Amino acid sequence: MSRSRAIVKVDTVPESSVFPYNHLAFLSQNEISLLIDRTDRMLYPLIRSCSLAVLSSGMATDHDTCLSAEYPNFDMDFERHPRGLKVVLKNAPAQAFVDGVLIETIHDHLFSVLRDLLHSRDLGRHLDQLTGPDSADLVFQILRNAKVLQSDRELSRIVCWGGHSVSKPEYDYAQAVGQELGLRRFDICTGCGSGAMKGSMRGAFYAHKRQKYSAGHFIGLSEPGIIAAEAPNDMVSDLVIMPNIEKRLEAFIRIAHGIVIFPGGPGTVEEILYLLAIFATPDNKEDPLPVVLTGPESSRSIVDAYVTFLETALGQGITSRIDVIIGDASYVAETMQAGRDEVKKYRLETNDAYCFNWCLVIPDLLSTSFAPTHESMSELNLSLSQSSQKLASELRRLFSGIVAGNVKPETRQLVNESGPFKVHATPEIGGAIESLLKRLISENRMKIDGVYTPCYRIIPNC
Amino acid sequence: MSRSRAIVKVDTVPESSVFPYNHLAFLSQNEISLLIDRTDRMLYPLIRSCSLAVLSSGMATDHDTCLSAEYPNFDMDFERHPRGLKVVLKNAPAQAFVDGVLIETIHDHLFSVLRDLLHSRDLGRHLDQLTGPDSADLVFQILRNAKVLQSDRELSRIVCWGGHSVSKPEYDYAQAVGQELGLRRFDICTGCGSGAMKGSMRGAFYAHKRQKYSAGHFIGLSEPGIIAAEAPNDMVSDLVIMPNIEKRLEAFIRIAHGIVIFPGGPGTVEEILYLLAIFATPDNKEDPLPVVLTGPESSRSIVDAYVTFLETALGQGITSRIDVIIGDASYVAETMQAGRDEVKKYRLETNDAYCFNWCLVIPDLLSTSFAPTHESMSELNLSLSQSSQKLASELRRLFSGIVAGNVKPETRQLVNESGPFKVHATPEIGGAIESLLKRLISENRMKIDGVYTPCYRIIPNC
Amino acid sequence: MSRSRAIVKVDTVPESSVFPYNHLAFLSQNEISLLIDRTDRMLYPLIRSCSLAVLSSGMATDHDTCLSAEYPNFDMDFERHPRGLKVVLKNAPAQAFVDGVLIETIHDHLFSVLRDLLHSRDLGRHLDQLTGPDSADLVFQILRNAKVLQSDRELSRIVCWGGHSVSKPEYDYAQAVGQELGLRRFDICTGCGSGAMKGSMRGAFYAHKRQKYSAGHFIGLSEPGIIAAEAPNDMVSDLVIMPNIEKRLEAFIRIAHGIVIFPGGPGTVEEILYLLAIFATPDNKEDPLPVVLTGPESSRSIVDAYVTFLETALGQGITSRIDVIIGDASYVAETMQAGRDEVKKYRLETNDAYCFNWCLVIPDLLSTSFAPTHESMSELNLSLSQSSQKLASELRRLFSGIVAGNVKPETRQLVNESGPFKVHATPEIGGAIESLLKRLISENRMKIDGVYTPCYRIIPNC
Amino acid sequence: MSRSRAIVKVDTVPESSVFPYNHLAFLSQNEISLLIDRTDRMLYPLIRSCSLAVLSSGMATDHDTCLSAEYPNFDMDFERHPRGLKVVLKNAPAQAFVDGVLIETIHDHLFSVLRDLLHSRDLGRHLDQLTGPDSADLVFQILRNAKVLQSDRELSRIVCWGGHSVSKPEYDYAQAVGQELGLRRFDICTGCGSGAMKGSMRGAFYAHKRQKYSAGHFIGLSEPGIIAAEAPNDMVSDLVIMPNIEKRLEAFIRIAHGIVIFPGGPGTVEEILYLLAIFATPDNKEDPLPVVLTGPESSRSIVDAYVTFLETALGQGITSRIDVIIGDASYVAETMQAGRDEVKKYRLETNDAYCFNWCLVIPDLLSTSFAPTHESMSELNLSLSQSSQKLASELRRLFSGIVAGNVKPETRQLVNESGPFKVHATPEIGGAIESLLKRLISENRMKIDGVYTPCYRIIPNC
């Protein structure tokens, strides 16, 4: 629930000082100097834009690109202080404050941004090219540092994927599923945003209250390029900024004890493809991670459309690891419960950690960064002359590029300047893609409002 | 959010044993015998019907009268056990359970019912006629025993009144007000039910989460006759069953540090009249309790209708102690905040307890029980030939009778058998009453669904 | 460790205000009036003397009678206050304060005194003559009200009895036993005082710290006549003032999950006799309460002396329920652990409460109050012409009278005025008594310092 | 209080598995491999010997060198496990276990050893030569990683120095000072061992209990070479293993909000000299750290001896920053309280952290490691031809060498092989040293028991 403009009356708070409570209260002199001096030219702009997104958390808008435009005078200063660091916010959105004091969760998220951006920086500059165990190690270190891993907890983390632009029945259904998960004391991890992500978190949160369970985790995994478009919803208790989209996807997969997929747009399709590429990797055959694709009765046709697209492009058996459940929230929760028990058994057998799936093998093509440009998009290999694992990876990159072209400011600018990405595909695959994308457009799943102009053009290669 | 029938699949759970955690884990042999032997013939039926209401908590129904009919085989047994008492539930509503275990808050409420009904019984049989300090003492003892009074807390208890049958904008507005109160860490106390009561609690609850404030109280005050019609909503953390409607009203007033009134039906009018009778008592002139009557823009006219009715019947100045605020949730919260500070100052000056307003004088006509019958309703003195305090008290009884005629099974039966109550009033007052009641009927504020047949007839006396 | 006079510098604090945190923060107007008006003439002097004892808690003195003499100007006032009650202490011992603020546990104990004395008063005036289930019910109500019963706890309460005037090896041994109990997370309950009671508590407390166990209970059971002589030692976390010595003994027995007896003086002998009278009651034959009589190697002879006395007076088999263990602290703890498991099993079989032994039958002669006077002491029936249960009960009264004659001011005055009590006994029993008492005198177990003048004379009846 | 051999019955536990709770439950695959493979040849022996010391925590022995000899078969294995790491202990001292389970604080300390040794290793190999801000940064990082720094705490950390071999009056006095500090809710930080270090911790711990204050910290700072001789006493809640003696001294100084020095042997003299070298540094002139040198009346002469030695060797004014207080425990606590307030004020003025004194300048001669050998000891410059800061630093090294010659196995071996260290000093200084050392020997402050053979010879240079 956002606080209306009428409610907050003024737009911005001229100046406000905040102090970290935790870990960041203990920066060494060197670390503080890094912030104060703004010596790292790449770092400050990232901090600023992520902080602004966090300060807009709970606002009823996804006019992503406008955020910077709307608060042009927003600025941050850093100072030494006996209680650690002092952060001065200038011209921050007024809705983040109550009686001049920052709302507590926003306060936390603000320091999560600092924590993760500083830490990623410490971990080195070549993380875009990390693969295999090194990539897993990096993801692990960021999550450990963010304290979202807990050893003394039951396996309880359900990752929920789904659109941020969804219909009322889909939102209500996500909330109902969240409720049934929450009544069973599951934690929810999402991509942070609104729609299905918020619905599932809110349902679980309210169910935790009914169970008098206050130790629940509501983890939001974001990344610097996406956070402006998907500011943390008001249920997120633990915000983690992963360094890029591929590490964010890896984080989802490695910490999940179960995955629930609700209908969504190209971002959701990207996530499904990422998952299928992993399932198609022979080393992962035994891993028992439970996955459910679900929606209310009214969404049956879009769920069918996903399955049709996937089976057309990647082969009949490709969705065999995914349970499709329509309109039965408690059955989704029960499926997760049963699957979680399998996961626990498997981890025990393999001596793998409960809190982090080290065993899963992630193909290099999924781990390395994909930067969508006209060149890289045109070079995608969308043909059947490769394993389904490789094709799924290439398709993942395609949809990742489409998401970026829809919402990431710098990618949108590329498209504005040089026209839509040209994507080459064999006719069968191209046809399946086109058909799915049209459906997403017609159901308004590409963006929340306004007329959608595609950022891509599918060109059949002969 | 109720759990749909589809979700819970079966209707009832044949048998389930539950154990108290707290206080009731320590019943003496005498106290346990009282429960086991069912020696008190009045007690067991009360326990059964209140327990059934609690087990229906969170269900999307107010078909009050049907609850017993819907679960005719519901039954309870009590046994001794090393961990204290053991309660066996038979054929209880399935929606109260998850994987065979009672939802925690429902578990708590179940033992709150036992606690309060046993305690009220201990406190004596003549409580219907208690007035003045003795009545205050009784109310205090029940609330203290229920542990809803806390000495080390800021003054933070806002009582929210309003209908359980409200429009979507009214529900959303109650939630927005709850949010602004919750962001300021206020506790919410309501009459337990749905509609405005649930909206304000839910808004505050989410806001507490945003403030990482987990110590909030969500107090529901009910009474045996009303609880079946207004089962505790799913936000109530502390349920208290007061012995009758008058003690419940007194409890609201004595623990409030501020009162917010949303639009509602005859029950809400009863509450306003109770409050005005107290404000019209000269001894209470100095007491600074803040009261706001509020609603969204779309409810402006019903708010006006209340004011018109009150000023017509009771005189121009009668609403001077009530602030009317339309469509400004944060201003409501700020008004409560400012008013609360006045309350604190006043309690300090008068050495009155922060947690309980001992000083307030409640007229005997408000304290003593009013049992609506054809006789008692026809004997109400609805004329201007008395002080506004007395007239407000008589009008309070009228609306109390109408509520009972609408929802309480035994009163409805009276009306079914002998026709509507005949109520005599002078023409001005009768006209004002008729006019307000018509409006409540036309706005569906008398009951949640179905056609409303009035349980009263206003007869002008010449 | 007491704080030396040098440390606290001044003797008394002229005036200091304290406020209750808990339950007593919520007195009704009636209850507060009772305190303010001092209407109950018996109540205030009791409150005053018990409070003074509590304020002396931790002081290195057992010059009991001097306490009132030492602080002749100590006084208390009660006032209404928004945070509940306000208690004004006048000329209280300075050692109870740090920088003008009462030490927290002393603060708590002060309000425990008020709580228990007010509550005992509420429970009625004839409690001296209560027996059987009524007596159990009273004891239960006082302990429940003091919140020392907890349903969600393992059976973990070990009652430790033993002298407050003990040798260094005995103190160290009590501490070693306490340590082994504490390492196993047992709670300790004692009669509050110094010596073996303090040693066992302190050992357990340090051991809890080593186990990072902070939920341990250190219960001290006292009564108004004894508290001045045995001010709560500095380890007591929960102080309960039982109304008289017999209810205190009953409380020990009913809440114990095991009993450890260290060497002591006539008070310890009284406790053993009380226990043996209960074990000699046929109804209690099955009850598995574990009891260990233990001391360091250097105390072997006094332990033998107890056993000799008991078997001479009450018959060979009388001590069969008591395990004697010399110089093996961990074996004592292991014995308690094994015995506790038996207790749990038995309670489960009999559906008796874990936290309170309702089943135990206590003979009337133990339950009713014994007031030692020259007359009552001379009328004790100390002959073999009765059951061992009755004889043990009579002997319990004898030693109770000797304790009173040693330490209770009013009984000492009787003896000062009219000479030692004359006690009639058959030669065998009289001889056994004399022999034991001489040993207690020679080992300085009658009082902490100074020459001991017996308050009794044993006269053989022919 | 140690658990006697009789108590634990067997000497060692053949095999036992333990799991980390915290941070170390989250080792990455790389980090676990490091432990499992024992690839670092220096690391495992350090881990083993520190772990053995920790497992002996609470034992009544300082036969340091014997520890390894006494448990020759003690060994450790490391394995992967779903709950993180699994550590297998083989033939560990039985007294560390209760019913086969490790005592909780020993469990914690065991993982503190791993944490700190792994972390120091990560921080680099040249830490022996770090000085200035780099040294401070290293110390900060180790303490932060050990979570002994807390930003939301009052300034409350009192460092207590003093001998582990002390008389009963000195132990009791340390306990009395600890009590007065604890009653004021101060935390205690010591060098871990017995004697004055244990006394002050125990007094404070018990006082915290009296104040119902459970958040107190009891920090023990050790280092790999000293821990075998000074196993953590049973009060230490937070154990930190600093990489060497100089970093340990720096840690004491930078986290102290006040320092209390009790009488001790050469280690205590080393600490005083370290402190005086810092106070003699002009940059530190304004720093208000309060320091008290104190003991019971019976220790007045040794305190005088310290002062005489210091003023003779370093000049009259040298002890002006140290308050000497004899036999007044509460005055010591009040002095710390007043001094702490000054520290807070100063930190606020200088924007220095409350939890870590960054501003203090530590001379390079104090920061760099001193390895006592016959060569290095003979090269000490003990003459007046230098600043008092430099001379104090040289004297610090001398006493550090004597401590090592007394207790560190490898240094003792050097002395055994090649005779006592030859130390050259000018006659005045040499005389002052000799005179102090003789006194320490005659008062048994060099080692706990047995005849002391000096590991040094003072040679006057002409």
| Chain-chain contact of C28 with B84 (C-beta, under 8 angstroms) | no
**Whether B399 contacts B270, CB under 8 Å:** yes
Closest residue in C to D334 (Cα) is C99
A–B: how many Cβ contacts below 8 A? 88
- Residue A389's pLDDT is 95
- Residue B29's pLDDT is 82
Matching residue, tokens 């803040």: B290
Residue B7 backbone phi and psi in degrees, to 5: -65, -45
The secondary structure element, H or E, covering residue D161 is: strand D157-161
Distances (CA, A) of C408 to B322, C66, C413: 64, 12, 9
Question: What tokens were used for C424?
Answer: 């009639």
What is the Cα–Cα distance from C226 to A31, expressed in whole angstroms?
A: 63
**Which of C20, C79, C353 is closest, CB to CB, to B84?**
C353
| Chain-chain contact of C149 with B352 (C-beta, under 8 angstroms) | no
* ipTM entry: 0.90
Enter the DSSP assignment of D2.
P
Q: Which residues of C touch D180 (CB under 8 A)?
A: 3, 7
Amino acid B66 reads C
Residues A310-342 have pLDDT tens digits of 999 999 889 999 999 999 999 999 999 999 999
| Chain-chain contact of B144 with C26 (C-beta, under 8 angstroms) | yes
What is the Cα–Cα distance from B148 to B218, expressed in whole angstroms?
A: 10
Instruction: For chain A, positions 230-269, list CB contacts with chain D under 8 A.
Output: none
- Residue A6's pLDDT is 45
Q: Which residues of A touch B94 (CB under 8 A)?
A: none
Percent helix, strand, coil in chain B, to 5, is 50, 15, 35
**Whether C263 contacts C166, CB under 8 Å:** yes
Residue B452 backbone phi and psi in degrees, to 5: -95, 125
- Within an 8 Å CB–CB cutoff, is residue D348 touching chain A? yes
Q: Which residues of C touch B79 (CB under 8 A)?
A: 351
Q: Is the pLDDT of residue C247 over 90?
A: yes
| Chain-chain contact of B351 with C80 (C-beta, under 8 angstroms) | yes
Nearest to C343 by CA among C389, C393, C290, C384: C290
- Within an 8 Å CB–CB cutoff, is residue B353 touching chain C? yes
Residue A94, min C-alpha distance to chain B (Å): 13
Residues B162-203 have pLDDT tens digits of 998 899 999 999 999 999 999 999 999 999 889 999 999 999
Q: Which of A20-24, A281-285, B279-283 has the lowest mean pLDDT?
A: A20-24
Q: Which residues of B touch C355 (CB under 8 A)?
A: 26
- Within an 8 Å CB–CB cutoff, is residue A354 touching chain D? yes
Residue D45, C-beta contacts closer than 8 angstroms, at least 6 positions apart:
none
Residue B413, C-beta contacts closer than 8 angstroms, at least 6 positions apart:
none
Q: Is the pLDDT of residue D9 over 70?
A: no
Distances (CA, A) of C284 to C156, C281, C290, C293, C367: 21, 6, 13, 20, 16
Mean of all residue pLDDT scores within chain D? 90
Quickly state the pLDDT bin for D87 (edges 50, 70, 90): very high
- Within an 8 Å CB–CB cutoff, is residue C78 touching chain D? no
Quickly state the pLDDT bin for B7 (edges 50, 70, 90): very low
Residue C65 backbone phi and psi in degrees, to 5: -60, -20
What is the Cα–Cα distance from D433 to D309, expressed in whole angstroms?
A: 7
Helices (H), D76-167: 104-122, 132-145
Residue B282, C-beta contacts closer than 8 angstroms, at least 6 positions apart:
none
Residue A397, min C-alpha distance to chain D (Å): 29
Q: Which residues of D touch C335 (CB under 8 A)?
A: none
| Chain-chain contact of D26 with A351 (C-beta, under 8 angstroms) | no
Amino acid A365 reads L
What is the Cα–Cα distance from C294 to C331, expressed in whole angstroms?
A: 10
Q: Which residues of B touch A6 (CB under 8 A)?
A: 327-328
**Whether D239 contacts D109, CB under 8 Å:** yes
| Chain-chain contact of D176 with C1 (C-beta, under 8 angstroms) | yes
Q: Is the pLDDT of residue B297 over 80?
A: yes
- Residue A126's pLDDT is 80
Distances (CA, A) of B173 to B168, B197, B298, B299: 8, 11, 10, 10
Residues A151-204 have pLDDT tens digits of 667 899 999 999 988 999 999 999 999 999 999 999 999 998 899 999 999 999
Domain ranges of chain D: 5-122, 133-350, 365-460
**Greatest Cα pair distance in chain C:** 68
Residue D79, C-beta contacts closer than 8 angstroms, at least 6 positions apart:
A351, D36, D85, D86, D87, D88
| Chain-chain contact of C351 with B21 (C-beta, under 8 angstroms) | no
Number of residues written out for chain B: 462
Question: What tokens were used for D370?
Answer: 């001193």
- Residue A297's pLDDT is 96
- Within an 8 Å CB–CB cutoff, is residue D274 touching chain C? no
Percent helix, strand, coil in chain C, to 5, is 50, 15, 35
Q: Is the pLDDT of residue C36 over 70?
A: yes
Distances (CA, A) of A26 to A19, A114, A148, D142: 11, 13, 19, 12
More confidently predicted of B455 and C8 = B455
What is the Cα–Cα distance from C335 to C357, expressed in whole angstroms?
A: 20
Residue C102 backbone phi and psi in degrees, to 5: -60, 140
CATH class of A147-350: alpha beta
Matching residue, tokens 């036969």: D63
Q: Is the pLDDT of residue D330 over 50?
A: yes
Closest residue in A to B107 (Cα) is A211
In angstroms and rounded to an integer, the radius of gyration of the C-alpha atoms of chain C is 21
Q: Which of C8-12, C57-61, C128-132, D120-124 has the highest mean pLDDT?
A: C128-132
- Residue A229's pLDDT is 73
| Chain-chain contact of A28 with D137 (C-beta, under 8 angstroms) | yes
| Chain-chain contact of B354 with C83 (C-beta, under 8 angstroms) | yes
Residue C206, min C-alpha distance to chain D (Å): 8
**Whether A163 contacts A262, CB under 8 Å:** yes
**Whether D380 contacts D458, CB under 8 Å:** no
Residue D80, min C-alpha distance to chain C (Å): 26
Name the CATH architecture for the domain at D133-350.
3-Layer(aba) Sandwich (3.40)
More confidently predicted of B46 and C84 = B46
- Within an 8 Å CB–CB cutoff, is residue C31 touching chain B? no
Chains C, D in contact: 3+ Cβ pairs under 8 A? yes
**Which of C1, C8, C202 is closest, CB to CB, to D175?**
C1
What is the Cα–Cα distance from A310 to A382, expressed in whole angstroms?
A: 13
Residue B289, C-beta contacts closer than 8 angstroms, at least 6 positions apart:
B253, B256, B257, B258, B259, B339, B343, B357
**Whether B21 contacts B85, CB under 8 Å:** no
Amino acid B239 reads L
Residue D315 backbone phi and psi in degrees, to 5: 110, 155
Residues D240-262 have pLDDT tens digits of 999 999 999 999 999 999 999 99
Q: Which residues of B touch C352 (CB under 8 A)?
A: 82
What is the Cα–Cα distance from C249 to C392, expressed in whole angstroms?
A: 14
Beta-strand relationship, B75-81 and B84-93: antiparallel
- Residue B5's pLDDT is 42
Residues B198-212 have pLDDT tens digits of 999 999 999 999 999
Chains C, A in contact: 3+ Cβ pairs under 8 A? no
Interface partners of B (3+ CB pairs, < 8 Å)? Answer: A, C
Q: Which residues of D touch C327 (CB under 8 A)?
A: 6
Nearest to C125 by CA among C251, C244, C246: C244
- Residue A237's pLDDT is 94
Mean of all residue pLDDT scores within chain B? 90
| Chain-chain contact of A184 with B214 (C-beta, under 8 angstroms) | no
Q: Which residues of B touch A21 (CB under 8 A)?
A: none
Closest residue in A to D134 (Cα) is A30
Enter the DSSP assignment of A382.
B
Closest residue in A to D354 (Cα) is A82
What is the Cα–Cα distance from B298 to B281, expressed in whole angstroms?
A: 34
Name the CATH architecture for the domain at C132-350.
3-Layer(aba) Sandwich (3.40)
CATH number of D5-122: 3.30.1850.10
**Whether C385 contacts C264, CB under 8 Å:** no
What is the Cα–Cα distance from B33 to C411, expressed in whole angstroms?
A: 42
The secondary structure element, H or E, covering residue A12 is: strand A12-18
Chains B, D in contact: 3+ Cβ pairs under 8 A? no
Neighbouring C-beta atoms of residue B403, cutoff 10 Å: 24
**Which of D105, D183, D235 is closest, CB to CB, to C98?**
D183
- Within an 8 Å CB–CB cutoff, is residue D375 touching chain C? no
| Chain-chain contact of D105 with C213 (C-beta, under 8 angstroms) | no
Q: Is the pLDDT of residue A59 over 80?
A: no
Residues C136-186 have pLDDT tens digits of 999 999 999 999 987 667 899 999 999 988 999 999 999 999 999 999 999
Amino acid B58 reads G
Distance of CA A445 to the CA centre of its chain: 16
What is the Cα–Cα distance from C398 to C394, expressed in whole angstroms?
A: 6
| Chain-chain contact of A354 with D83 (C-beta, under 8 angstroms) | yes
More confidently predicted of D196 and C228 = D196
| Cα within 13 Å of Cα(B77), Cβ side | 11
Q: Do domains D5-122 and D133-350 have the same CATH topology?
A: no
More confidently predicted of A137 and C127 = A137
**Which of B9, B183, B205 is closest, CB to CB, to A98?**
B183
**Whether B417 contacts B455, CB under 8 Å:** no
Quickly state the pLDDT bin for B217 (edges 50, 70, 90): very high
Chains D, A in contact: 3+ Cβ pairs under 8 A? yes
Q: Which residues of B touch C353 (CB under 8 A)?
A: 82-84
**Whether C54 contacts C232, CB under 8 Å:** yes
Interface partners of C (3+ CB pairs, < 8 Å)? Answer: B, D
**Greatest Cα pair distance in chain D:** 69
Neighbouring C-beta atoms of residue D342, cutoff 10 Å: 15
CATH number of B129-350: 3.40.50.450
**Which of D79, D136, D352 is closest, CB to CB, to A82?**
D352
| Chain-chain contact of C211 with D104 (C-beta, under 8 angstroms) | yes
